[in-house]
Amino acid sequence: MAKLTVKDVELKGKKVLVRVDFNVPIKDGVITNDNRITAALPTIKYILEQGGRAILFSHLGRVKEEADKAGKSLAPVAKALSEKLGQDVVFPGATRGAELEAAISELKDGEILLVENTRFEDIDGKKESKNDSELGQYWASLGDGIFVNDAFGTAHRAHASNVGISANVEKAVAGFLLENEIAYIQEAVEAPERPFVAILGGSKVSDKIGVIENLLSKADKVIIGGGMAYTFLKAQGYEIGTSLVENDKLDLAKELLEKAAGKLILPVDHKVANAFAGYTEVKETADQNIPAGFMGLDVASKTIADYNTQLEGAKTVVWNGPVGVFENPDFQAGTVGLMEAIVKQPGVKSIIGGGDSAAAAINLGYAEKFSWISTGGGASMELLEGKVLPGLAALTEK
């Protein structure tokens, strides 16, 4: 990685600003999934062990007006982080002002403070989300010239709490999580051990045009599943029943199929139902065609067998997007079969690009079998598309 990392800077006695991604689900004041907090621990612990004074920034949800602040405080996160670290986490409950500044000035080496939800600054002119220069300068002034970005999930956005702070400190460096995310995802795409197979699911072709085009030029095969597969199948002349389709993208799908020259792999059969919810009939199709009155909600047994064939011998696999409605037990066999086909390949580097794919692996018990599960769906998508992430670009070069 061509950027400085947290190991390249002296931390002892320094007030170290750290952007983390604590955008965790909270229901009735209780965190329902703390994976993002756990993922940030190695960097936080390293800073504290080195004698740094860690000042953490994170957003939580979207905040556009005063009413949106309800249930969006990072107070539950401060409590959970304190329990995981086994030490107090100072939480002034503010994004700026005298109380916050006083609390920071009282920090001692090895102590930690969490700033309130950075998106609270969006109520007055979207200062966080629009990278307000004054806000970036103010937050940077709270530290001693060192900023550690460990929030991969927001690295594709130029906000005051990442790009803004970076522009106003002596050194902006990557934390361990950000470093690993870049190493796994970017290096898998740019310098993969071959065969390299990319798998893309999700509902819309329009969401992943750039990703498909980039991966067709990089991967040996691109497997398409999920709702967007039906647009490709209709473009080839197959019947798709009432399945999800983007009719305005049929010509684009044809162009991508031609450009792929056989690299693009589509389902060969489907598991279908006569409704998305409240269905009374579920069956497998004999081939790619879906009968009238039915919609595709998963791939079926022939496609699952084909996944095993297509992935045989793969050394690098990047997967983004389930291939069925995995939240429903009736339509999760395809996603499970795909995961089994991936993880059984000897010596494979298997990477999940966050989002629903990560949720599927975690919820269905396959998380430990993958080499890496990204913490940022949107950021990983932009890396797969070959884009430069603003949060990464803003870091100090080695």
For residues 288 and 285, give the distance between their C-alpha atoms in angstroms, rounded to a whole number: 7
Specify the pLDDT at position 271: 98
- 222 pLDDT more than 90: yes
Specify the pLDDT at position 207: 86
Kindly indicate the confidence band of residue 225, based on its pLDDT and cuts at 50, 70 and 90.
very high
- 378 included as an active-site residue: yes
- 62 included as an active-site residue: no
Catalytic residue among 171, 378, 386, 387: 378
For the segment 308-325, the average pLDDT, to the nearest whole number, is 96
Catalytic residue among 14, 19, 36, 249: 36
Kindly indicate the confidence band of residue 151, based on its pLDDT and cuts at 50, 70 and 90.
very high
- 324 included as an active-site residue: no
Residue range 80-109, pLDDT digits in tens: 999 999 999 999 999 999 999 999 999 999
- 283 included as an active-site residue: no
Kindly indicate the confidence band of residue 205, based on its pLDDT and cuts at 50, 70 and 90.
confident
Residue range 250-288, pLDDT digits in tens: 999 999 999 999 999 999 999 999 999 999 999 999 999
- 358 pLDDT more than 70: yes
Specify the pLDDT at position 1: 61
The pTM (predicted TM-score) of the whole model is: 0.89
Specify the pLDDT at position 297: 98
Among 293, 384, 305, 372, which Cα is nearest to 338's? 305
For the segment 315-325, the average pLDDT, to the nearest whole number, is 95
No. of helices (H) and no. of strands (E), the chain: 15, 17
Q: Measure the CA angle with vertex 345, ends 378 and 233; round to 5°.
A: 55
For the segment 33-38, the average pLDDT, to the nearest whole number, is 93
Residue 384 phi, psi (nearest 5): -65, -25
Catalytic residue among 204, 218, 263, 315: 204
For the segment 30-35, the average pLDDT, to the nearest whole number, is 92
Are the C-beta atoms of 355 and 323 separated by less than 8 Å? no
For residues 31 and 29, give the distance between their C-alpha atoms in angstroms, rounded to a whole number: 7
For the segment 370-383, the average pLDDT, to the nearest whole number, is 91
Please, what is the average pLDDT of the chain? 96
Catalytic residue among 355, 376, 377, 391: 355
375 forms beta bridges with none
Integer angstrom CA distances of residue 275 from 238, 279, 281, 395: 20, 5, 8, 49
For the segment 20-40, the average pLDDT, to the nearest whole number, is 94
For the segment 368-384, the average pLDDT, to the nearest whole number, is 91
Specify the pLDDT at position 206: 86
